[in-house]
Structure 1
Amino acid sequence: MNEKKYDVIVIGSGPGGEGAAMKAAKAGKLVGVVERYAQVGGGCTHWGTIPSKALRHAINRMMEFNRNPLYRSLGQVARFSYPELLKTAETVIAQQAAMRRDFYTRNQIPVHRGFACFLDAHTIEVRAAGSQPPQRLRADYFVLATGSRPYRPDDVDFNHPRVFDSDTILSMPYTPDSITIYGAGVIGCEYASMFRNMGCKVDLVDTRQQLLSFLDDEIAHALGYHLRDQGVVIRHNETYERVEPQSDSVVLQLKSGKRIRSDVVLWANGRTGNVQQMGLEALGIKPNRRGQLDVNVNYQTALPHIYAVGDVVGYPSLASASYDQGRFAASHIVQGHCDSHLVEFIPTGIYTSPEISSVGRTESELTEACIPYEVGYSWFKNLARGQITGKTVGMLKLLFHRETLEILGIHCFGDQAAEIVHIGQAIMSQQGAANSLLYFVNTTFNYPTMAEAYRVAALNGLNRVH
């Protein structure tokens, strides 16, 4: 069997793999990529971020049309099935995959199709589907960017046509009237919001006592309020006992004795790294119980020439951060040190309706650290742009040091939150006096815009300390 030799082999073509491959190739390294699926882009492009956010956009447009007084006065109502709404994502997925395929072509990076398994510390075998013979590839360095998949407990029958996880829900061939979502993390909350906006009856089962407890308490409570106001039934502190699929429904039996019957169940409780059957254990690289790999600050595993980035290393498990991790790992390969590291405060983007985004510390964290802080608010219902667009639900919340006026945390709930937060993130990243509430007080913003919320919140906060 002929062997192909590379400087760097990247396993996985999602955001982390792409970042590593492009950085290494542009630095003059001979790079090869292994991708087990037909198209590049990984779970982000094909089963996660891109299709789910495209689906959300389509649902929100339908909802806005139906709520617009202009169209209601004409007696027009938009009704689309779940499969029809899913189709809107196909074009975006195709565009994303084609764009990423061109990246590899332009940078002369061959993509080997198949599943990669280590034969020794510097050799992998790529096993393609069908009758194609395996390929043997060697490299000085490897970057594992294999991503993650939904966690599937053994006692739940995911082969049943009414039981789904966050991957398979994106190919559900019908529109359910009711859905039970088990797991109220980011994915569970996002799908609860989407299906409720489609008019489905939604039960959201939370294994914890509060939704998204990593958020600022006020924002988490606001999310719970608005989901309930939209009609979502939220059940906290519940654990499943069994899932009982039937021909026309599914029953979720909870340990508390509750039985929830719905058309379908979406299991959204945890993810696990894609490292199985890769031969890593034989090299001394042992995944933890969640299938994740331990790495140092340079993204090196137990074997220094084998790196790992993205979901397979755990936190923060974000597409944006994974791309950066891939670039940083490649820079360490190329020059012996990382160009940079992930920023201390990575913004969160949660695509419920309304949207949530935050960066920096929460009130609870500041209180626990005994940091004297104050709060500035801007309510979207008072902004001219919010009134014009009708997107009046939400707020921007600034946390800042009472004495130095340093921005300590930014929390946004409402339309365009994931965009709005970046303005504050840029100021928070400045050193010394440049990171100050006064920037927002003294800067002239376009009017009317949602960004104006920063000036309003800053003035509101400044009034509390003077």
Structure 2
Amino acid sequence: MANIVIIGGGPAGYESAYVADSLGASVTLIDYDAPGGACVHYDCVPSKAFIASSEVVSNTRHADDLGIRMPSPDEITVDAPQVYNRVKELARAQLADVTAGLAKTKVTVVRGRGRLLATEEHGSHPVEITPEGEPAYTVEADVVLLATGASPRVLPGAEPDGERILNWRQVYDLPELPSKLIIIGSGVTGAEFANAYTEMGVEVTLIASRDRVLPHEDGDAARLLEDSFTRRGMTILTHGRAKTVQNTGDGVRVELADGRVIEGSHCLMTVGSVPNTTDLGIEEAGVEVDDGGFIKVDRVSRTSVSGVYAAGDVTGVLMLASVAAMQGRIAMWHALGEAVAPLQLKTVSSNIFTHPEIATVGIGEKTIDDRDMDVRSVTMPLRTNARAKMAELDDGFVKLYARPTTGVVIGGVVVAPHASELIMPITLAVRQRLTVQQIASTFTIYPSISGSISEAARRLIEHDDLD
């Protein structure tokens, strides 16, 4: 029986534990907190629950457009403590579900910390386990999976204090909503919180280090969202790099590298993540990392050391819970001799939970431009969709990318409410190498937002070389 030690209890950790247990391995899962990881504790689950509350406010604000008389936008109030408590309760409920799921297996869960020791000559991997409040002990593992995740990056001179200067894991402890929130960082996390707080009536200033928000996303989608932000009253400062953030006692003072100064009630730092590799023993074990400190892995999650795998945010490979979980599963399938397909990043869909949402999958405009690829594309504005018209939805579109001559769909973008649900048909098309002809000939509900996907496919067929 293979002895497997998993360090880290997030999606990469607990999903790999399920797989290893089902294949008959002896599994020890180590985490300093309850299984669930930062995704459930602080990140995905809490943030999306918080965003869900902001969506209700947004829908209420625009009820008049549909003939529903509601209080004026200024009369809508948000009970911040109740919102934050709900967020925490949902996180606790999800943690309980993960714990209950593991309790049904033979997995040994240790609350504490684990670290690699120098690998023995015979190939086993000694792991030092330090349970909370108990002395450390060492076990010999045939396979080790490192799944310790990542933590918010801290900028020198802008260290979070949990009071006025915050990272995204600290906002739920505020006694009330900020009156004037400055958000530093306009990537996915920054954009999501900027959107949510704006919808809740908070005055938001979003500081982007480049020339636009979401610099790594589809340009059309990013520009549309930026325009939506501005129309809703958000202030966006581009080419802004934070030099210092100071807690002034009753607010914050942010100084940018170019001399600009912004003042507000609170500052939220969303400037990326760093891998959790401190005291993990990777140096002693010879595990290689990249320039950013993330553990290097191949497409089946192997590190540079035989028998040691890594998965999730600690690898820096598309820092998504879905990718982390798949990396963990693949690691166990490979380690235990099961047939396994390597991770295929081009089939991974992702979503930005703003208003509207932005969902993408497959090859996008940056890759197409960088490689000078011969690709056909079409964009269908949401305002031409009958269902969108009925719901007064103006902002958004569906975009498809396809190969010429073959018509195989290689990517897509959906910008719309609940784009996270609408991207699935395009993800399936990319995964199964479906053609625009096949999508165009598939029935869709009328009226429906998803009808724009088949309509986009029909428009692509109009190209002579896709006939």
Q: TM-score, normalised by structure 2?
A: 0.91
- Tell me, yes or no, if structure 1 residue 68 matches structure 2 residue 63: yes
Shift in alpha-carbon separation, 1:377–1:296, aligned structure 2, 3 A: closer
For 2:347, what is the secondary structure of its paired residue? Answer: coil
Determine the C-alpha separation between the residues in 1 that align with 2:71 and 2:277: 55
Determine the C-alpha separation between the residues in 2 that align with 1:406 and 1:297: 24
- Tell me, yes or no, if structure 1 residue 94 matches structure 2 residue 97: no
Determine the C-alpha separation between the residues in 2 that align with 1:299 and 1:375: 33
For 1:214, what is the secondary structure of its paired residue? Answer: coil
Q: Percent identity?
A: 24
Q: In terms of mean alpha carbon deviation, does 407-416 or 373-382 score higher?
A: 373-382
Determine the C-alpha separation between the residues in 1 that align with 2:72 and 2:345: 51
Q: Tell me the C-alpha RMSD between the 2 structures.
A: 2.2
What does residue 439 of structure 2 align with? Answer: 440
What does residue 7 of structure 1 align with? Answer: 3
Is the Cα–Cα contact under 8 Å of residues 60 and 70 in structure 2 kept in the other structure? no
Is the Cα–Cα contact under 8 Å of residues 439 and 457 in structure 2 kept in the other structure? yes
Q: Aligned match of 1:242 in 220, 244, 247?
A: 244
Letter of the 2:96 counterpart: A
- Provide, for residues 55-101 of structure 1, a one-character-per-residue CA deviation record: whole Å limited to 9, x for no partner: 10011112212432365357795412333222222342233112211
Shift in alpha-carbon separation, 1:171–1:286, aligned structure 2, 3 A: farther
- Tell me, yes or no, if structure 1 residue 31 matches structure 2 residue 31: no
Is the Cα–Cα contact under 8 Å of residues 376 and 459 in structure 1 kept in the other structure? no
For 2:432, what is the secondary structure of its paired residue? Answer: coil
What does residue 272 of structure 2 align with? Answer: 270
What does residue 105 of structure 1 align with? Answer: 103
- Provide, for residues 164-205 of structure 1, a one-character-per-residue CA deviation record: whole Å limited to 9, x for no partner: 012112322321111111111111111111111111111111
Letter of the 2:41 counterpart: H
Deviation at 1:392, TM superposition (A): 3.7
Is the Cα–Cα contact under 8 Å of residues 6 and 32 in structure 1 kept in the other structure? no
- Provide, for residues 228-284 of structure 1, a one-character-per-residue CA deviation record: whole Å limited to 9, x for no partner: 122222222221221121111111101111001011111111210111012221222
What does residue 38 of structure 2 align with? Answer: 43
Letter of the 2:238 counterpart: H
Deviation at 1:364, TM superposition (A): 4.5
Deviation at 1:151, TM superposition (A): 0.7
Deviation at 1:457, TM superposition (A): 1.7
What does residue 17 of structure 1 align with? Answer: 13
Letter of the 1:315 counterpart: V
Letter of the 1:413 counterpart: V
Determine the C-alpha separation between the residues in 2 that align with 1:71 and 1:221: 30
What does residue 452 of structure 2 align with? Answer: 453
Deviation at 1:288, TM superposition (A): 4.2
Determine the C-alpha separation between the residues in 2 that align with 1:32 and 1:459: 52
Letter of the 2:327 counterpart: Q
Determine the C-alpha separation between the residues in 2 that align with 1:306 and 1:195: 42
Unaligned runs of 5+ in 2: 120-124
What does residue 202 of structure 1 align with? Answer: 204
Determine the C-alpha separation between the residues in 2 that align with 1:141 and 1:16: 15
- Provide, for residues 313-335 of structure 1, a one-character-per-residue CA deviation record: whole Å limited to 9, x for no partner: 11211100110000000011100
Shift in alpha-carbon separation, 1:260–1:247, aligned structure 2, 3 A: same
What does residue 405 of structure 2 align with? Answer: 403
Q: In terms of mean alpha carbon deviation, does 73-82 or 244-253 score higher?
A: 73-82
Is the Cα–Cα contact under 8 Å of residues 157 and 243 in structure 2 kept in the other structure? no
What does residue 365 of structure 2 align with? Answer: 363
Is the Cα–Cα contact under 8 Å of residues 250 and 263 in structure 1 kept in the other structure? yes
Determine the C-alpha separation between the residues in 2 that align with 1:107 and 1:52: 29
Q: In terms of mean alpha carbon deviation, does 194-203 or 317-326 score higher?
A: 194-203
Deviation at 1:463, TM superposition (A): 3.5
Deviation at 1:368, TM superposition (A): 4.5
Is the Cα–Cα contact under 8 Å of residues 245 and 251 in structure 1 kept in the other structure? yes
What does residue 116 of structure 1 align with? Answer: 114
Deviation at 1:160, TM superposition (A): 5.5
Unaligned runs of 5+ in 1: none
Is the Cα–Cα contact under 8 Å of residues 3 and 25 in structure 2 kept in the other structure? yes
For 1:167, what is the secondary structure of its paired residue? Answer: coil
For 2:446, what is the secondary structure of its paired residue? Answer: coil
Deviation at 1:412, TM superposition (A): 1.1
Determine the C-alpha separation between the residues in 2 that align with 1:319 and 1:44: 7
Is the Cα–Cα contact under 8 Å of residues 408 and 436 in structure 2 kept in the other structure? yes
Deviation at 1:340, TM superposition (A): 3.8
Determine the C-alpha separation between the residues in 2 that align with 1:160 and 1:108: 39
Is the Cα–Cα contact under 8 Å of residues 2 and 26 in structure 2 kept in the other structure? yes
Q: In terms of mean alpha carbon deviation, does 282-291 or 234-243 score higher?
A: 282-291
Is the Cα–Cα contact under 8 Å of residues 184 and 269 in structure 2 kept in the other structure? yes
Determine the C-alpha separation between the residues in 1 that align with 2:443 and 2:290: 51
Is the Cα–Cα contact under 8 Å of residues 160 and 245 in structure 1 kept in the other structure? no
Determine the C-alpha separation between the residues in 2 that align with 1:363 and 1:289: 26
Determine the C-alpha separation between the residues in 2 that align with 1:73 and 1:183: 34
Is the Cα–Cα contact under 8 Å of residues 58 and 88 in structure 1 kept in the other structure? no
Determine the C-alpha separation between the residues in 2 that align with 1:275 and 1:373: 41
For residues 12-411 of structure 1, what are the structure 2 equivalents within 5 Å? 12-37=8-33, 39-69=34-64, 72-73=69-70, 77-121=75-119, 122-129=125-132, 131-159=133-161, 161-335=163-337, 338-411=340-413
Q: In terms of mean alpha carbon deviation, does 252-261 or 103-112 score higher?
A: 103-112
- Provide, for residues 133-171 of structure 1, a one-character-per-residue CA deviation record: whole Å limited to 9, x for no partner: 334333211101000000113432322510001211232
Determine the C-alpha separation between the residues in 1 that align with 2:226 and 2:58: 20
Q: In terms of mean alpha carbon deviation, does 75-84 or 19-28 score higher?
A: 75-84
For 2:9, what is the secondary structure of its paired residue? Answer: coil
Q: TM-score, normalised by structure 1?
A: 0.92
For 2:268, what is the secondary structure of its paired residue? Answer: strand
Shift in alpha-carbon separation, 1:114–1:363, aligned structure 2, 3 A: closer
- Provide, for residues 394-438 of structure 1, a one-character-per-residue CA deviation record: whole Å limited to 9, x for no partner: 11111223433222321111111111111012112224xxx2111
What does residue 122 of structure 2 align with? Answer: none
